[in-house]
Chains A and B, each alone.
Chain A
Amino acid sequence: MKLGFGNNKDFWAGLLFAGVGAGAILIAQSYPFGTTLRMGPGYFPRVLGWILVAFGLYVMVRGVRNSDAIKGHWSIRALIILPLSMVLFGVTMEVAGFIPALFILIFVSAASGREFKVKEVLLLTIFLSFLSVAMFIWGLGLPYPLLKGF
């Protein structure tokens, strides 16, 4: 079966390995290599980089010869929203405090699912926020302000 590169599993996996390996070699150029007897900080990264490039190229070639498609769905919606909700949680923790961060996290992450009922999510948010505050702030005594500036 012939496939375009766009959906070729091994081609992309190989490219990923080779790319990371090549990147590592490039960055590690500036680290002293040392000798085998007295290894510098660049020794391990560069050797590993070359090995990865070799593996990557092999997997790529294998992919081109013997192509195999990527299976399953790409849940693009969740793929974007979930990591984003984590980042938002981090940012809000710094700016506004624990409770606003929780609200944003739970609301945004819930939006990545297929069903989103505002009332239900609101109840969930309040429940989880209360549970978290009780467990982490009151119970374990983590030093986070519930609401910054107060």
Chain B
Amino acid sequence: MDLFHNLIFGFSVALSWQNLFYCFLGCLLGTLIGVLPGIGPLATIAMLMPITFTISPVGALIMLAGIYYGAQYGGSTTSILVNLPGETSSVITCIDGYQMARQGKAGPALAIAAIGSFFAGTVCTLVIALFGPPIAEMALKFASPEYFSLMMMGLIVAAVLAPGDMVKSLAMVFLGLLIGCVGTDVDSGWRRFSFDIIELTDGIGFVVIAIGVFALGEIVSNLGDPEERTVFTSKVGSLFPSKDQVKRSAGPIVRGTVLGAFFGVLPGTGPAIASFSSYMVEKKMAKDPSRFGNGAIEGVAGPEAANNADAQCKFIPMLTLGIPASGTMALMLGALMIHGIAPGPTVMTQRPDLFWGLIVSMWIGNLMLVILNLPLIGLWVSLLKVPYRLLFPAIMTFSCIGIYSLNNSPFELYLTAFFGLLGFLWMKLECSPVPLMLGFVLGPMMEENLRRAMLISRGDPTVFLTRPLSLVFVIITVLILVVMALPVLKKRRGVITG
């Protein structure tokens, strides 16, 4: 029982008073910055790095990791309460989480988000401990054709399952893809749609669009309809989820965890993809998909589990191969190297205290977070009782500071204001911004991987069919299309024969 011994050893490291303290500190700080929009774990870890020079490498890593996954817990809070995504990965939670809050169900939404995250965290800790290295090797098999086919599949599934008006949703996906084109083209260096504005040469930030469209658009609309808003602040129901709500969330949490773990291991996927895909899967599996977008608890449970699983599994390629799967992981890698530790295939044998100590501390941290977050729910929910005329300037304040801190420059604020106007317009024209966000996230990656695949294959498009993994995704995509088209075809035939 190697694993058993290793875990015991890990506990002995993680349960030292010092490491417990660092873990707690990291989780607390992570929750705080998770709640704040714009300011993410990346910036916080960068700013705190000098402090960690003076503490042991294990303690430092435990604390930094705590900030990282703690932020995933905190990120959902403001999404649910005021439609303000605290982290990139919690944008999806806005959709149904905020609707639940409007119906007086903020408490259950927050609780399910925390429980889902905890479950995902626990499972992923085990996954890292059991299968870390082989999984990481597998992830390296993913090259541009696989990424492209996978994203194509995601986009088509999204389009097929688009909410409400399908034509408009598709148009929003394409609009998102187009907005994703803004910025310097990586192949040629051309600056597309930058209008000679130097700040636009790096493209538009996800946070800018998310805060503009979701948070700002929502405030504007609330101020137009003051009666509606006062109604839902006055009714705050139960703080904890009912049996039925827990039962309905169980499946989504498990599926979200699996999806999140899968995307987490792949270095080429961003933070929002896991929660997006979980949302799409849940909507597809639901008996009554129309509940989604109107406060379905499954739409909170699945994505929240997925984004925590994604965050945690990003550690796998970093720890076992020394490959940073995201900017935050690159920074952790840097922090470790500064402490004289080179993560990679040898770290498990050379520094077992670090490897197993960290893994066990992640589980302890997740436990702390759940214990920390559940009592906080009451506090958060009581925030909703604050009169809206006082609440919305506060939301504006935190949003503005967060956006300014992205680049320490005011440009992003102007852009957010612009997207706020657009978001309101879309709301009025009943164009859902969710497909747009998906197109925006997937577009640049799809373009990059498609062009790279074509470059490497020297212009041979069969590359997507000759590589087995890519072929699998292509087949699944075709199957989905066929399954989706069948009822329509049947109906047609019925019309013709009947």
Contact = CB atoms under 8 A, between A and B. Distances in A.
B410 A24 contact: no
B429 A9 contact: yes
Chain B interface size range: 35 or more
B417 A84 contact: yes
A56 B226 CA distance: 33
B171 A77 contact: no
A105 B413 CA distance: 12
A89 B15 CA distance: 46
A74 B417 contact: no
A99 interface: no
Given A16-B429, A87-B414, A141-B47, A124 B393 contact: yes
A14 to B, nearest CB: 8
A87 B168 contact: no
A45 B408 contact: no
Chain A at the B interface: SS class? helix
Interface stretch (B75-83, B302-310, B331-339, B394-402): B394-402
Interface stretch (B5-13, B143-151, B183-191, B340-348): B183-191
A72 B222 CA distance: 11
Interface string B384-420: 0000111011101110110111001011011011101
B171 A83 contact: no
Given A13-B431, A41-B187, A72-B225, A48 B455 contact: no
B482 interface: no
A115 B187 CA distance: 53
Chain A interface size range: 35 or more
Contacts of B398: 132
Interface in B430-481: 430-431, 443, 447, 450-451, 454-455, 459, 461
B447 A44 contact: yes
A75 B396 contact: no
Contacts of B394: 124, 128
Interface string A80-92: 0011111101110
Contacts of B418: 83
A136 B390 CA distance: 20
Interface string A34-45: 011111111011
A77 B220 CA distance: 9
B174 interface: yes
Contacts of B459: 35, 37-38
A89 B413 contact: yes
A106 to B, nearest CB: 5
Contacts of B430: 9, 13
A110 B67 CA distance: 33
Given A59-B167, A75-B224, A128 B421 contact: no
B18 interface: no
A110 B185 CA distance: 41
Interface in A89-132: 89-91, 93-94, 102, 105-106, 109-110, 112-115, 120-121, 124-125, 128, 132
A27 interface: yes
Contacts of B396: 82, 85-86, 105-106, 109
Contacts of A72: 221, 224-225, 428
A82 B420 contact: yes
Interface string B7-38: 00000000000000000000000000100100
A109 B187 CA distance: 43
A70 interface: yes
Given A9-B429, A52-B178, A128-B397, A90 B192 contact: no
Contacts of A73: 224-225
The 7 closest A-B CB pairs, nearest first, are A75-B224, A90-B410, A37-B459, A83-B417, A78-B223, A90-B413, A41-B190
Given A16-B429, A39-B454, 7 more contacts: A31-B185, A56-B171, A75-B223, A82-B223, A82-B396, A82-B420, A90-B400
Interface of B: 33, 36, 39, 44, 47, 167-168, 170-171, 174-175, 177-178, 181, 185, 187-188, 190, 192-193, 216, 219-221, 223-226, 388-390, 392-394, 396-398, 400-401, 403-405, 408, 410-411, 413-414, 416-418, 420-421, 424-425, 428-431, 443, 447, 450-451, 454-455, 459, 461
